[in-house]
Every structure is written in structure tokens, then in C-alpha cells.
Amino acid sequence: MTDEPDATDRAILNALQEGFPISPRPFAEAATALGITESELIERLRSLRERRLITRFGPFYDAAAMGGAFCLCAMAVPDADFERAVEQVNTHPEVAHNYARDHALNMWFVLACEAESDIARVARQIEDDCGLPVLLFPKLKEFFVRFRVAA
């Protein structure tokens, strides 16, 4: 089987980005709308997953609703210190992800902590470890997005 999605695969990817039922036979319901059978939909989803054309299928949870506190942080790290800083920052388990970006603020990471009060504490530890200021960019307001990938 080719890795390229065919027309039915694309229809599935487009339709199931919009949503999936929470009901006893959700695949049967979704398949009817697509004009295919329940078993074909399941098989195709399995194949799409194996071919890595879908990264996730299931409920998307609001990270904050699940409990915990999050904060986007940035640092301006001198080039010569960069690799050392990567290690010092990443060693903290609270650092969920970390990206190098092309800006004077060249390191951007997200802290994921149990409680709001942990954010400032971990940020201060990172400042001490690296000897560099950590700027905090907490979310003040989140705007609803309807990001979709046309398959």
C-alpha cells in the first residue's frame, strides 16, 4: 500500500478533524456520514495510523482543565553558552518542550507544573542554573482556534 492517502482517506481525515461521536457505535455513525462501512472506517484509521498520517485519534483534553499550571518562557542565550543552557534547562522535568528560535530571545520552553506557585520557583532555579534571566509569558487569554489541515 502506498503511503499517499487516497480520496477516501482524505475524506476521513477532513471529516474526523471536525469531531467524532461519543456514543455506543461511533465508527458506524461516522462511517454512514462518509458512505463507507463501520469496518472499512476502522481498517482505514488503523492504516492511516500505521502510515503515520494521523498522529492522534481520540479526545483532546484542555491541559489546564486536567489540573496543573503552564507557562511559556523565553531566554536570550549567548551562542557560546547555548548547548550548556539546553542541558541545564532540559534537565528540569517541568520543562515540557523547548525550541530554539531565530530571535534575540532564542530559547523558548513551556513549564508544566502541578501548581501555579511552582512556575516562579522553577523559573528562578533555571535562572540560577544558567545565570540568565528567564522571561515569563503566561497565557492571559486564549482565543478559540479552528485550525484544520486540508487533506
Partner 1 sequence: MRLDTTDRALIEATQAGLPLVPAPYSDIAARLGMSEAEVIARMQAMQARGVIRRVAVAPNHYALGMRANGMSVWDVDDSTAEALGPRVGALDYVSHCYLRPRARPVWPYNLFAMIHGATRAQVEEKRAEIAALLGADCAQNDILYSTRILKKTGLRLRQKPRADQQPDPYPAPQPEQG
Residues between 53 and 112 with contacts to partner 1, criterion CB under 8 A: 53-63, 65-68, 70-74, 76, 86, 89-90, 93, 95-105, 107-112
Task: Provide, rounded to whole angstroms, the least separation between the CB of residue 128 and partner 1.
Answer: 19
Identify the CA nearest to 105 among candidates 70, 134, 71: 134
Task: Provide, rounded to whole angstroms, the least separation between the CB of residue 46 and partner 1.
Answer: 5
Q: Give me the residues paired with residue 136 across strands.
A: 73
Site residues for partner 1, window 7-36 (CB under 8 A)? 12-13, 16-28
How many Cα atoms sit within 13 Å of 44 on the Cβ side?
A: 21
Task: Provide, rounded to whole angstroms, the least separation between the CB of residue 111 and partner 1.
Answer: 7
**What DSSP assignment string belongs to 69-85?**
EEEEEEE---GGGHHHH
Classify burial at 132, counting beta carbons within 10 Å of its beta carbon; exposed 0-12, middle 13-18, buried 19 or more: middle
Nearer Cβ to partner 1 (19/131) = 19
Buried b (16+ CB within 10 A) or exposed e, 107-116: bbbbbbbeee
Nearer Cβ to partner 1 (3/7) = 3
Nearer Cβ to partner 1 (18/35) = 18
The answer to whether residue 124 forms part of the interface with partner 1 (CB under 8 A) is no
Task: Provide, rounded to whole angstroms, the least separation between the CB of residue 85 and partner 1.
Answer: 9
Task: Provide, rounded to whole angstroms, the least separation between the CB of residue 105 and partner 1.
Answer: 7
Nearer Cβ to partner 1 (19/35) = 19
For the chain, how big is the Rg over CA atoms in Å?
Answer: 21
